Amino acid sequence: MTYMDMLTGRVLPGRRGEERMRTIVFVVPPGSVSPALKQAAEEAFPWTVIEEVSQVDQAIRIFPSTVSLLILHPDLIADAERSSADLFRYHPLALTAVLHDDMMDERELALRLATSQIIRSILPIQVRHDISLSILGLLLQGIEYCPRRLLGAAMEHVSDTPPAAREPEEAQPIAMPLRVLTKREMQVLEMVQRGLQNKSIANDLNLSRHTVKIHLHNIISKLGARNRTEAAAFYRDAVPAGASLRAAG
């Protein structure tokens, strides 16, 4: 499988050739995204369905196929933050990105990126369509994208923020893909990423091995992973070493 196979939709990323329809939801005011770009995306990724809604609450529902990508207008970030729990519940596997065009103040966008609990990526739209489509292909694979200059500005904001204004290290929020897991599932996954086998996990948590297997099945299913090794890799990518995280109830 080549990268171009992924971009042209001949193979669905991460599914070993098994094609499944996925949904991209643009949450934007009318006219924010050109019809030409949406048409180009549908042609480049024929296994996707593109939906457009104008308000965040209109995205809090079940769509005919799994939502892989939520793309927000910058003016709707605050609404999305307030509704983040509902968005995660309905679209647990979706990556959330924000539109970026040349009319937006980059410092303000960088500040929002640095402080947001929901935005993980940028989708530039005031560029050639082939560039936008390449970035869209990365996002559909779950790969986060941010231009270097914006990332640098976001890091400057973080470094300029007084320590008292930041989250304490012992209570870091869970990265978005892991928020779908329960506290027990997070415990099991943390032990898996340390290399423990089911028998040891069962003994340490005072569970049966069958219960541990059920937890692992649920973890792998919720994260869209192919096996326990990939699920453990998700954990290591999302959780800073030594951090203690807040899990879902």
pLDDT in tens, 74-127: 889 889 989 988 998 888 888 899 988 766 666 666 666 667 778 878 888 888
Q: Which residues of 133-145 are buried (b: 16+ CB within 10 A; e: fewer)?
A: bebbbbbbebeeb
pLDDT in tens, 120-129: 788 888 888 8
**Would the CA dihedral through 129, 131, 134, 138 be positive or negative?**
negative
**Where is pLDDT greater, at 157 or 201?**
201
H helix or E strand, kind and range, residue 189:
helix 183-193
φ and ψ at 38, to 5 degrees?
A: -65, -40
Radius of gyration of the chain (CA): 19
Q: Which domains does the chain have, with CATH numbers?
A: 3-156 (3.40.50.2300), 170-246 (1.10.10.10)
| Cα–chain center distance at 62 | 17
pTM score, two decimals? 0.57
H helix or E strand, kind and range, residue 1:
none
Alpha helix locations (H) across 9-105? 35-44, 77-82, 84-90
